[in-house]
Amino acid sequence: MDLLRSVKDRTDETEFYTPLPDGYQLGKVKYVAIFGTVISGLGKGIFSSSLAKILKDKGLRVSPIKLEGYLNIDSGTLNPFRHGEVFVLDDGLETDMDLGTYERMLDQDLGRANFATSGQIFSTVLNKERAGSFLGRDVQMIPHVTGEVKMRLRELAMQTRADVVFIEVGGTVGDIENSFFIEAIRELRYEEGEQSVVCVALTYVLAPPALGEQKSKAAQLGMKRLMAYGILPDIIACRAEEPVLDKVRQKLSLYSNVPIRRVFSMHDLPSIYLLPNALREAGIDSEVVQLLGLGGRVNSALEAKAVSLWNTFADRLLKSDNRRIRIGVTGKYTSLRDSYASIIKALEHAGVANDVAVDIDWIDTTDITDETAAEALADVDGIIVPGGFGVRGTAGKIACIGYARRNKLPYLGICLGFQMAVVEYARNVCGLADADSTELSPDCETPVIDILPEQKKIEGLGGNMRLGGQDVEITPGTLIAELFEGAEQIRQRFRHRYEVDPTYIETLESGGLVFSGRHPVHPIMQVLELPRDVHPYFLAAQFHPELTSRPLRPQPMFVGLVAAALQRKNAAVTC
């Protein structure tokens, strides 16, 4: 094959530049690429992960990758107000929130190979140029930058032994920052050959209230723009509030050469977890299997079992609406729900596990005081104080924690919520009136929360930030041990700089605070709680439990919170 020969020939005699991982065979691995048109934020990750799930249910090994156009090396420095939550992978990489969607839907842990930014791609290419890896050629967007993108995709396929790699291209077709990603996928489709790459266009069907009907023109123009890049879509997913009308689907089919059976109505549903079944019912999974020639790899028995389990979950999800509780999320990013995406989904999972629907009250703590906390929390059955950085809103969080502790309101603290619980307890129970965190008050006299000097030297933490999966040693007989069914050690994901100063641990414990989860080696407190005879559910963790919650494996700390909140509500009704 001319292309294969040209892969090995990197001299000036050829214009082909297609580096391949060792042992990689063109055409063996299949790819599904998802592009967005018209507007951003349509749910490419939700569609992609749902489609990947139903292929995984068939016994296929799937591996997703998110291609982000921004120049950041990772998502760690992004403001939640601008880009939603930062999702931390087990290996410590800080990524886009869509990686959380993939992990939850696929029930599999992802790693660095599943996320690539323009910054990563350009850095790699420039480092190779400095090392002379391009043998004196002038380094260009095509073929070298696009070649690096293709290399990332193929390396992921090799590392994960994937049958199908799902490629989500961030942003919208027409954005200058993702144009080279689109070009790389066009080249990938050419090089891999027939039945190797399926392209999905996610678009938006407008329904202006003044017109009273669905309009497809913007979607048509989006299709044409994608096709101008050389990407001919195989499947179109139409986002809309209501089911997309047949005549709209027919127009899009006509303008894009996509058979109408592959023009899918991705209208609003009560939960994203109902989308996999909607895709199955529309036959999109069968279309992808046929397009990629994967029929011989499908395991029907495995699929039947997976579908049954998911249907049971979906049925419980819909029936949960019969009972409802309210959980207050008290933070400073509450105006943008995506800032707490994983918490929202973890509460949904926990609600299904308890056969109850969880309504969320978003409570901005910026202006809450000890005097106003009771009013702010009057209508909730439990609260979560989530993570965050900086001073703003922390005084309000402490006020909410104090109210929850005194009034036996079920409480779950996460990261900063753990630290603020320590500060509140030190001040109001242990008599350390000046207790504070050096993050909030660098010169405070009683720094119960501080950066530990020895922490900077351990475990390759990358400066003073602890990131990714870490082991937590559990104290037997405690609430956290009960929630994790007697486990002596658990693994959870961290993202923080500050710790409980060991100087004050004895004082806090003497005052009744229980540190029930610790680092196996170092003096790092990782879980705190109050005894059950003191408070029905007062629990906080230095880690982020929401990051590991899955639909069929809900995170125990959230399950416990929802159960305690439901018990409180039922008790109030009985009274």
pLDDT at 18: 83
Tokens for 349, please give them: 């999972």
Q: Which of 94, 183, 499, 546 is catalytic?
A: 546
Neighbours of 134 (CB within 10 A): 16
Residue 336 confidence (pLDDT): 66
Active site residue 546: yes
Q: What does the pLDDT read at residue 211?
A: 87
Nearest 10 degrees: Cα torsion 486, 492, 497, 499: 0
DSSP readout, 47-108? HHHHHHHHHHTTT--EEEEEEE-SS-SSSTT--HHHH-PPEEPTTS-EE-THHHHHHHHHT-
For residue 134, the model assigns a pLDDT of: 85
pLDDT digits (tens, 9 = 90+) for 72-89: 888 888 777 677 789 999
**pLDDT of amino acid 398:** 95
* One-letter identity of residue 59: G
Catalytic residue flag (residue 519): no
pLDDT tens-digit profile of 424-437?
999 999 999 999 99
Q: Where are the alpha helices (DSSP H) in 215-340?
A: 217-228, 246-256, 275-282, 284-292, 300-319
Across residues 393-401, what is the average pLDDT? 92
Mean pLDDT of 183-196: 96
**What is the C-alpha to C-alpha distance for residues 216 and 571, in angstroms, rounded to an integer?**
52
Output the CA angle 89-340-388, nearest 5 degrees.
Answer: 80
Give dist(CA 72, CA 290) in Å, integer: 38
User: Could you give the CA distance from residue 458 to residue 448 in angstroms, rounded to a whole number?
Assistant: 21
Q: What are phi and psi of 133, to 5 degrees?
A: -70, -15
| Tens digit of each residue's pLDDT (9 = 90 or more) over 426-474 | 999 999 999 999 988 998 999 999 986 655 555 444 445 788 999 999 9
Which member of 238, 415, 499, 519 is catalytic?
415
Contact 414, 388 (CB under 8 A): no
| pLDDT higher than threshold 90 for residue 344 | yes
**DSSP notation for 171-225:** S-TT-GGGHHHHHHHHHHHHHH-TTSEEEEEEEE-B--TTTTS-B-HHHHHHHHH
For 374-390, how does the pLDDT look when each residue is reduced to its tens digit (9 = 90+)? 999 999 999 999 988 77
Per residue in 479-506, pLDDT tens? Answer: 999 999 999 999 999 998 899 999 999 9
310-337 pLDDT, tens digit each: 999 999 999 877 789 999 999 876 666 7
Average model confidence (pLDDT) for the chain?
A: 91
Answer with the residue of higher pLDDT: 11 or 525. 525
Q: Which domains does the chain have, with CATH numbers?
A: 21-313 (3.40.50.300), 323-569 (3.40.50.880)
Alpha-carbon span 484 to 263, nearest angstrom: 44
Query: Is the confidence at residue 12, as pLDDT, over 70?
Result: no
